[in-house]
Amino acid sequence: MCLDLEANDIVSMRPLGESQSLSLLVFDGKGQPCPQFLGLEPDSTVHSSSFDGAALFGWIAKLGGDALGSLVSSEVELDGLVALKAQADCTVWILRPVDAEMLVSSASTGLVEVSHKQASGSLHVPLPPPLGEIRDEFTVCRGTAQAYEVRAGEVVQIIDVEGQQCSDFMALRRSPLGAGVEMGIDSTATRTMVRGSYPGPGLLDKFFDRELRPMMRLVQDTCGQHDTFGMACTARGYEERGFPGHLNCSDNISAALAPHGVAYRPAWPAINFFWNTWVDGNSHRLMTEESHSRPGDYVALEAMDDLVCASTACPDDIDPINGWNPTDVHVRIYRPDQPIRRAIAYREREDAPMSLTRESAFHPATSKLTSQFAPARDLWMPVTFPSVGTIGEYWACREKATLQDMSNLRKYDVVGPDAERLLQRALTRDIARIAVWRGAYALVCDKAGSVIDDGTLFRLGPELFRWCCGSEESARALRNVADQEGYQVRIHGMGGALPNLALQGPHSRDVLRRITFTQPTVPSLDNLNWFGVTMARLHDRDGLPFMLARSGYTGELGYELFCSVADAPRLWDAVMAAGDGFGVVPMGSAALNILRIEAGFTASGAEFLPGVDAYEAGLGFAVSLEKSDFVGKAALQRNARDPRKVLKGLMFEGNEAPAHGTSVYSGERPIGVVTSAISSPMFECAVAMARIAVEFADVGTRLDVGQMDGKMKRLPATVCDIPFFDPKRARARA
C-alpha cells in the first residue's frame, strides 16, 4: 500500500484481530530513503520474495532508482492502534511480508486497517497515482468545461477530485469535423450495442457513434455508477425551476467545442460520469440521488480514433447530483501503447479501501483458451471457452469432466483454542460433529435468520478450520461474534494466496488418480468421501502440494484443488494433461450457472438475500436446530414452525426462461418471484427456482410466470421439487 503524505499528515494503523508486524519504507520526493520523516529508524531488510513488489519497484524505477532485490525498512509492531506523524512531505510504502511457505499453510496473513488523516486546515486533495506516462493534464474548474484532443491509442482519465461530482463527457471524431460533419458518441447506439445501460470493461465495453462504429473503450472504472439516460444539464432546465441565467453544462460544452468547428447546441446528449441515476421499476421515471463516487474515483477510456473531447465539472447546486456542492474535475491524457490493465473497482463494503480487478493465478493458462472474461468480485474469471462453447462445457461436465478456475472463492482460516466454540456459535451446522479431514456445507445468518453467506467448512486439525465462502461479510460476522464473546481465536484472511480449481464430472476421480499422491497419514483419494478433504502432492512425495476436497457446485462427482499462487499454472497444466483420454475440457461461469440451477444449488443475490431467511431460501437442510444456541436460531425456530414462503422448482412447457425477479402468478394475483431460471439442456425446457407462498407450493400445482408486466403474456409452469436433476445427489456421492 502506498500513501503520499504532506507535512503534519497522520497515518494510523490498527490490526483487525491479532497483532501484526508491518514493514514501512519511507522515501522523499527523489526516491531516497528517509524513515526519519515518520520518526522511524531503519532496522530490517525486507526481501522482494516476501511480498508482491512489482508496484514498489516500478515506482522506484520511474524515479530513476534501481529495483533492488531487498530494501532497508522500518519494522512496526501492531498490538493496537499506532499513529505516525509526517515531519515533512514523503511517500510511505506499507508492506506485510510473509514467508512463502505460509501462503500454502493455514498461517496466512491477517487484516490491518490503515487510515490517512490530512493536516488540519489542508485543502489539498491528493489525486490517484498516474496510470502511466502522462502527455497532458489539467483541471476543469467547477462550473466550467474544457475541450481537448486525444489521439488514437491514447487513454483519457477523468478524475472526480473531491467525490460526488458529475462530469459530462462528449467525444467527436476529429477528421469529419473538417468537412463540417459532427460524428459524436451516441448514447442510444451505445446502450443498444452493449445491451446494457452502461458499458463495463470486457468484451462489451465500448462507446459507439450513430453509425455503430466504436469510438472509445472503457479501460478502468473505480466508481461503477454512472448515467447514459439523460442529457447534460441545460439552461432551460434551470429556467423552468426558477434559476434563469444559471451556469449549465450544455452551454459550457458548446463554448468549449466552438473553436473546433462544432455548432452550438442548447442540449448536449453527453455521457454523465459519476451521476447516480436509475429508472424506477414502478413509476418508470428517471430517478436521481447523490453520487456514489469517492474522492479520487475515476474513469479511464482509450480512444479508438483521433477525437475532440469535452469534459465538464457540473455546476448543479440545486439537486443531489453533486451532493449540492459542485467541485473540480481533473483530466489526464496518457501516451499510447502503455500497459494499463483493464479493471473495475471492488470494495468489500462501501467504506472499504478499493482494489482493482486483477487476473487470477490461473490466467496464464486460461487466457490462452479464451478472451471472454467477466469480473467476479476482484478477479477476472472466464465466462466461456469458444472452442467448446457453453453447451459443450455443460455436457462435458455431465458426461466426462471439466476444469474451472474458482479462485474468486473467499478463504479464511479459523485457528485457536476457541475456534470450534466460535464456529458453533456463528454457523448453522453442528460443528462439533465434524471430524478432522472432513467438511460440511454451512450458513452464517443474522439474528433474523436471514442468510449472510454460505460456504464449506473444512476441519484440518482439532483447533484449525478453513472456511471457504462467497463473501467477506461472513468473515466480518465471525469477527464480530468473536469480539462479543471474547473468544481466543484468530481469523486469517487468505486473500489471493490460495487459488483453487474445480474438477467436476463423472471422470474427475479417474483424472486425479493419474496425478495424486497422498501420505499414509492423511486420507487417500479413494478414501475421500463427499465433503472429505486431504493434503496431496502432484505425482509423488516431492511434487507441488495442494489441498484436495471432494466438493463442488455442479451436482456431479467432483473435487476442488487449492494451491499456492506460484504453483497455479503448473497445477492447471498437470490436470489438463492427466485429462487427456477422459475428455476433460475447461469450463466457464456460464455453463456452471446452468449446472448449479439444475442441481438446485442456491446463489447469493438470487435465492438468498437480505430479508430472506434460510428456510425461504431453500437452505433449511443446512440448519441444525437441535444444537446449542447460534446466531439466528430463535428466528429460524419460529419460521420453521410457520413458514410463509418456500423455495420450489418450476418446470415450463417451453424453452423461454424468465428473468430473475419475475413475478409468479396464480390467476391475477402474484404469489411469488423467480429467483433463478435457465433453459435446461437436460430437460429440453426452461426450469426455474422460485420463492412462492406455501399455499401454492404443492407439487403439481399449475402456475404462471408473468411477462410484459404480467398482464400481456404468461409462461405456464408446474410446481416441482428441487433439485431438478439427481434429487438424491447420487452422482456427487458416487
SS (H, E, C) 159-223: EECCCCCCEEEEEEEHHHHCCCCCCEECHHHHHHHHCCCCCCCCCCCEEEECCCCEEEEEEEECC
- Shared domain for 387 and 460, answered yes or no, is no
Q: What tens digit of pLDDT does each residue of 621-669 get?
A: 999 999 989 999 999 999 998 889 999 999 999 999 999 999 999 998 9
Q: What per-residue confidence (pLDDT) applies to 306? A: 98
Mean pLDDT value across residues 678-697: 96
Residue 602 lies in a domain: no
pLDDT exceeds 50 at position 728: yes
Residue 613 lies in a domain: no
**Among 456, 469, 472, 462, residue whose Cα is nearest residue 549:** 456
Residue 302 lies in a domain: yes
CATH number (domain holding residue 678)? 2.40.30.110
Can the peptide bond before residue 723 be classed as cis, meaning omega within 30 degrees of 0? yes
CATH number (domain holding residue 504)? 3.30.1360.120
Mean pLDDT value across residues 222-243: 90
Q: What per-residue confidence (pLDDT) applies to 7? A: 86
Q: What per-residue confidence (pLDDT) applies to 5? A: 87
Mean pLDDT value across residues 497-520: 97
When computed from its CA atoms, the radius of gyration of the chain, rounded to whole angstroms, is 28
- Shared domain for 84 and 143, answered yes or no, is no
**End-to-end Cα, the chain, rounded Å:** 47
Number of structural domains (the chain) is 5
Going by DSSP bridges, is the β-strand pair 167-173/271-273 parallel, antiparallel, or unpaired?
Answer: antiparallel
Q: What tens digit of pLDDT does each residue of 567-608 get?
A: 999 999 999 999 999 999 999 999 999 999 999 999 999 999
Give all strands (DSSP E) within 49-133, no chain letters: 70-78, 82-85, 90-95, 112-117
User: pLDDT tier at 410 (50, 70, 90 boundaries)?
Assistant: very high
- Shared domain for 175 and 262, answered yes or no, is yes
User: pLDDT tier at 68 (50, 70, 90 boundaries)?
Assistant: low
Burial of 619 (C-beta count, 10 Å sphere; 0-12/13-18/19+)? buried
Mean pLDDT value across residues 234-241: 95
Range in 38-47, 216-225, 571-580, 682-691 with the lowest mean pLDDT? 38-47
Q: What per-residue confidence (pLDDT) applies to 18? A: 74
Q: What per-residue confidence (pLDDT) applies to 107? A: 39
pLDDT exceeds 70 at position 100: no
Mean pLDDT value across residues 336-365: 89
Q: What tens digit of pLDDT does each residue of 549-564 get?
A: 999 999 999 999 999 9
- Shared domain for 377 and 301, answered yes or no, is no
Residue 54 lies in a domain: yes
pLDDT exceeds 70 at position 99: no
pLDDT exceeds 50 at position 101: no
- Shared domain for 44 and 78, answered yes or no, is yes
CB 456 within 8 A of CB 474: no
Grid look-up 446452468 returns 594
Q: What tens digit of pLDDT does each residue of 1-19 get?
A: 888 888 888 888 888 777 7
Phi, psi (5° rounding) for residue 163? 90, 150
pLDDT exceeds 50 at position 310: yes
Residue 242 lies in a domain: yes
Residue 443 lies in a domain: yes
- Shared domain for 433 and 391, answered yes or no, is no
- Shared domain for 327 and 314, answered yes or no, is yes
User: pLDDT tier at 70 (50, 70, 90 boundaries)?
Assistant: low
Residue 432 lies in a domain: yes
Q: What per-residue confidence (pLDDT) applies to 196? A: 81
Q: Does the model's pTM come out above 0.75?
A: yes
Q: What tens digit of pLDDT does each residue of 132-165 get?
A: 999 999 999 999 999 999 999 999 999 999 999 9
Question: Which residues are paired to 684 by β-bridges?
Answer: none
Q: What per-residue confidence (pLDDT) applies to 627? A: 92
Q: Which of 570, 595, 620 is the last residue of a domain?
A: 595
Question: Which residues are paired to 438 by β-bridges?
Answer: 459, 532
Mean pLDDT score of the chain = 91
Question: Which residues are paired to 171 by β-bridges?
Answer: 309
Q: What tens digit of pLDDT does each residue of 183-199 get?
A: 999 988 998 898 887 78
Q: What per-residue confidence (pLDDT) applies to 72? A: 80
- Shared domain for 657 and 679, answered yes or no, is yes
**Among 349, 353, 386, residue whose Cα is nearest residue 367:** 386
- Shared domain for 504 and 541, answered yes or no, is yes
- Shared domain for 182 and 274, answered yes or no, is yes
Residue 636 lies in a domain: no
Contacts of 361-369 spanning 24+ positions with Cβ under 8 A? 361/407, 361/496, 361/499, 361/565, 361/568, 361/569, 362/405, 362/407, 362/499, 362/501, 362/568, 362/569, 362/572, 364/569, 365/569, 365/572, 365/573, 365/576, 366/405, 366/572, 366/586, 369/586
- Shared domain for 303 and 435, answered yes or no, is no
User: pLDDT tier at 69 (50, 70, 90 boundaries)?
Assistant: low
Range in 2-16, 66-80, 501-515 with the lowest mean pLDDT? 66-80
Q: What per-residue confidence (pLDDT) applies to 112? A: 80
Q: Which of 561, 595, 629 is the last residue of a domain?
A: 595
| 180 dihedral zone (left: phi>0; alpha: psi -120 to 50; beta) | left
- Shared domain for 420 and 483, answered yes or no, is yes
pLDDT exceeds 90 at position 461: yes
Residue 249's identity, in one-letter code, is C
User: pLDDT tier at 102 (50, 70, 90 boundaries)?
Assistant: very low
pLDDT: which is higher, 506 or 337:
506
Range in 344-358, 403-417, 578-592, 610-624 with the lowest mean pLDDT? 344-358
Q: What percent of the chain has pLDDT over 70?
A: 95
Q: What per-residue confidence (pLDDT) applies to 14? A: 83
Full domain range(s) for residue 482: 410-493
Mean pLDDT value across residues 461-478: 95
Q: Which of 595, 630, 664 is the last residue of a domain?
A: 595
Q: What percent of the chain has pLDDT over 90?
A: 72
Mean pLDDT value across residues 331-346: 93
